[in-house]
Chain A
Amino acid sequence: MALPLGYPLRNLVHRRLRTGLTVAVIALVVIATTLFLGLVSSMRRTLATTGSPDNLIVLRKGSDNDGSSAVPLEAHQALRFFDGVGKSAAGEPLASPELVVQPFFKTEAGGRENVLVRGVEPIALAVHEEVRIAEGRMFEPAQGEAVVGRGVASRYRGAQLGRDLRFGRRSWKIVGVLDSDGSSFESEVWVDVRDLAADAKRTIPYSGLRLKLAPGADRDALIRRIEADSRWTLGAKPETEYYAKQAESANVFYVLVVGLAVLAGFGAAFGATNTMYSAVQARIAEIGTLRALGFSRGSVMQAFLIESIGLAALGLVVGVAIAVPLAVAVSQALGGIAFGLSTFSTSVITLRVSPFDIAIAAFLALAVGVGGGLAPAWRAANLRPVEALRKG
């Protein structure tokens, strides 16, 4: 004979304090883990998803950073015609010469940060396929115009569409906002390479080149050819490999964040288990009565399972309802979470809680809610009724 659904559900409502406490603890677990997981996945998304496997990044040999490399003009002029380099619809080689400089920018909050400014030619948009002009338009060459990444627009003073942004030695007019699915290009400002070279007084105008492979091209052959060319000392690698290496510098933060998430999750899980345990203890006499009346062990356990799942579900809903807007609010308030160690420039990370993060938190909530409530319920259901009544 199974207990009616009303029993577990009414218990949830009737014992408001106990329900409230347990839901609060589970919600806290959910909030803590989703925020931390969200931080990690947001970081991963920004740092590690940049770049395309079909693109090669060409830098001076030995350089691991396109901010500290130099590639001569002649190299660009030769490499763009190499076999394997793709061509645009108009027949132009998909070779983007780029100059990277890291000037100071001022954040809305008054901090001073290095931002990656990339001097490019219009062909860059074709080479970096993931980059799109989301608002406004691309800059016109030699006009002192700039397009800013979404992250930049949200974090720095004067970096919004239509404004005049001051960096380096001069002012630049922002004519567009670029979007790149959250990858690190959104933390950059793109300007005309000649304007930038003049402002930064670079005699070798390019830091590096990005080449898009032609469909079916032999990537490794092209890399070998570039690196073997004795006119210059260059190194080439796929873009994805290059950015993956950069992401490694974030390792210490991954370790820290994941470590803390585990601590927080366990700590709060222990606590939630404890709360559920004691809640069941308080009802041992009740359980004994039910058993004495004739309800089977299975039916008692089932009732408790429903209650536990109910609590976990409530905790999850409350937790997510708080965590998601909290993440957005924090991200907004801070102008994105800034991070940047290896490239000597700042990556702006928008803290976003993904469905995957929520799924993990849900799993944890369920595990805590069910695990914590089931073990003591099992014990109680298995006591002989007389003992249970006496213990209560």
Chain B
Amino acid sequence: MIKFIPFVWRNLMRNPLRSMLTGGAIMLALAMVCVLRTAPEGFDRFLDNLAKNSRISIHNTAGIVYGMPYAYLARIKAVPGVVGAVSWSWFGGAVDRDKGVTFPNFAVDADAIGVVFEDLGIEPAAIEHFRSHRDGALVGRMTMQRQGWKPGDEITLVGMVYPVDLSFRISGEIPAEQDPRFWFHRTYLEEALRAQGIPSDQVGMIWARIDQAELVPGVMKQIDDMFRNSEAETESETEKSFFQNFFSLLQGFIVVFLIVSWLVAGCIVFIAANTASMAVRERMRELAVLKAIGFRWRLLFTTLLGEAALLATVAGALGALLSLALTRALATQAAMTPTMGPLAGFVVTNWMLVEALFLAFFIGILSGVVPSFGGARRSVATTLREVF
């Protein structure tokens, strides 16, 4: 079989322009498919990771902006099955006032943060530093890297929502690749606001970790029942459900993208098939000669198919590489948008690259099958008759 590879390659190079045009089209289409997959896949991976833990979020049914009384936290902690609970309040500070908020930052309850977010794998030393320093801050890896911070650095956030500027000491990193979050002490914010005469007894969200996964639905119900018919009714949901809801609004985009990418993919198969059939038609006589000499139709079929598959796979490889470059550009741009969070990944994983190669190969085979079959199967005599 190997001895036929030069044959297949030379045939591809017979009409370099045609091969390049077809290859170019396949390359671009595959780059597109790869790029389009990254955001949803990154998001799915993120959600799958979340599904494994037993963390729930509690917020006001009316909306997060409606807030809940801080007093709820103690009552939630008391619910059986709750291992720990912390409150989160959006601070919305910025490193540079002109650039605005570039990563999400929250005031949290420092004492239980390590317990509730145990699965994040924050270094115990960092958690300890955070707990023992009022001005400590735990920062997600993505933000750490983008801002060029290290543990021990002193930084200031300008208040864009509240009229206070706060200074912090970085305690440590939240070691997740796509994590942009910035956490600091709720008490620290409270003090600063009190100095300005601004009350702060409301929280935006409460996160609680439940002992065992099976207890989760029961606990959620219990919490919501506890606050029903009060001033701030609550809605509890799993962390996965929370993020799903948060990003559900981008569904529309994804649909449009999917439609267009399918269209383009279909277009590409057309083109590749056309190229393959042109190539076969041009070589009808050669094929007849080869068959006369004694080459079996199955062998000829394989070489013709191999031509289409080789072209498509090489083009696919180039397309996959191109997608790497594109996603890098996208990720940089996305970094400027603080609320994109897990969607800002745009990461092309190795697995995706492999899949792209397979897809390209498959397109090659699919587009080449019919013309190759027709070309190889054609009887020598028929060909000779029509041609000579």
Chain A contact residues, CB within 8 Å of chain B: 21, 24-25, 28-29, 31-32, 35-36, 39, 60-65, 67-69, 101-104, 107, 109, 111-114, 167-169, 200-201, 203, 233, 245, 249, 251-253, 255-256, 259-260, 263-264, 266-268, 270-275, 277-278, 281-282, 326, 330, 334, 336-342, 344, 346, 349, 351
Contacts and interface: CB of A to CB of B under 8 A. Distances in A.
Contacts of A253: 253
Tier of interface size on chain B: 35 or more
19 contacts: A64-B160, A104-B61, A104-B63, A109-B251, A201-B66, A256-B35, A259-B329, A267-B24, A267-B32, A268-B264, A270-B24, A271-B267, A271-B268, A271-B270, A272-B271, A274-B274, A334-B252, A338-B250, A339-B250
B158 A62 contact: yes
A336 B63 contact: no
Interface of B: 17-18, 21-22, 24-29, 31-32, 35-36, 61-66, 92, 97, 100-101, 158-161, 163, 199, 231, 233, 245, 248-253, 255-257, 259-261, 263-264, 266-268, 270-271, 274-275, 278, 281-282, 326, 329-330, 333-334, 336-337, 339-340, 344
Given A32-B263, A274-B271, A263 B32 contact: yes
Contact of A263 (B28, B65, B159, B339): B28
B266 A278 contact: no
A338 B249 contact: yes
A113 B249 contact: yes
Contacts of A107: 248
A326 B256 CA distance: 10
Contact of A36 (B31, B248, B249, B260): B260
Contacts of A68: 92, 160-161
B32 A338 contact: no
B163 A274 contact: no
A103 B264 contact: no
Given A28-B267, A252-B334, A338-B250, A351 B340 contact: no
A111 B275 contact: no
Interface centre among A107, A249, A326, A336, by most chain B C-beta atoms within 10 angstroms, is A249
Contact of B263 (A31, A273, A277): A31
Contacts of A35: 256, 259-260
Given A60-B163, A267-B264, A255 B333 contact: yes
Contact of A339 (B28, B163, B253, B259): B253
A344 B21 contact: no
B122 to A, nearest CB: 27
Contacts of B21: 270-271, 273-274, 277
Nearest to B29: A267
B249 A24 contact: no
Given A68-B92, A330-B259, A103 B251 contact: no
B267 A29 contact: yes
B161 A260 contact: no
Nearest to A31: B263
Given A267-B32, A271-B267, A334 B251 contact: yes
Contact of B339 (A267, A274, A330, A344): A344
B270 A264 contact: no
A54 B231 CA distance: 41
B328 to A, nearest CB: 12
Contacts of B344: 252
8 residue pairs, one from A and one from B, having the closest CB atoms:
A267-B28, A271-B271, A337-B252, A111-B248, A103-B63, A338-B249, A274-B21, A270-B25
Nearest to A24: B270
A56 B231 CA distance: 36
B62 A264 contact: no
A256 B92 CA distance: 26
B337 A249 contact: yes
B36 A260 contact: yes
Nearest to B199: A203
Contacts of A61: 163
A103 B65 contact: yes
B249 A25 contact: no
Nearest to A272: B271
A61 B92 CA distance: 14
Given A264-B260, A267-B268, A271-B270, 18 more contacts: A28-B263, A28-B266, A32-B264, A62-B97, A65-B160, A67-B65, A169-B66, A200-B65, A251-B336, A253-B253, A260-B32, A260-B36, A267-B24, A267-B25, A267-B28, A274-B22, A275-B274, A281-B278
B33 to A, nearest CB: 10
A201 B65 CA distance: 11
A346 B24 contact: no
Given A28-B267, A330-B256, A339-B249, A271 B25 contact: yes
Contacts of B31: 263
Nearest to A268: B267
A341 B341 CA distance: 10
A101 B65 contact: yes
A348 B260 CA distance: 20
A39 B252 CA distance: 11
Given A267-B264, A330-B255, A252 B340 contact: yes
Contact of A102 (B63, B231, B281): B63
Contact of A270 (B28, B233, B278): B28
A344 B161 CA distance: 13
A32 B258 CA distance: 11
A252 B333 contact: yes
Given A264-B260, A266-B28, A259 B326 contact: yes
B235 to A, nearest CB: 8
Interface centre among B28, B92, B267, by most chain A C-beta atoms within 10 angstroms, is B267
Contacts of B61: 104
B32 A112 contact: no
Contacts of B337: 249, 251-252, 341-342
A252 B270 contact: no
Contacts of B330: 252, 255-256, 259
Nearest to B92: A68
A287 B342 CA distance: 59
B19 to A, nearest CB: 9
A251 B248 contact: no
Given A63-B160, A113-B249, A260-B35, A278 B274 contact: yes
Nearest to A200: B66
Interface centre among B252, B259, B261, by most chain A C-beta atoms within 10 angstroms, is B252
A233 B271 CA distance: 63
B186 to A, nearest CB: 18
A283 B293 CA distance: 30
A31 B259 CA distance: 10
A185 to B, nearest CB: 18
Contacts of B339: 341-342, 344
A192 B6 CA distance: 78
B18 A278 contact: yes
A274 B160 contact: no
A39 B158 CA distance: 35
B270 A21 contact: yes
A252 B159 CA distance: 25
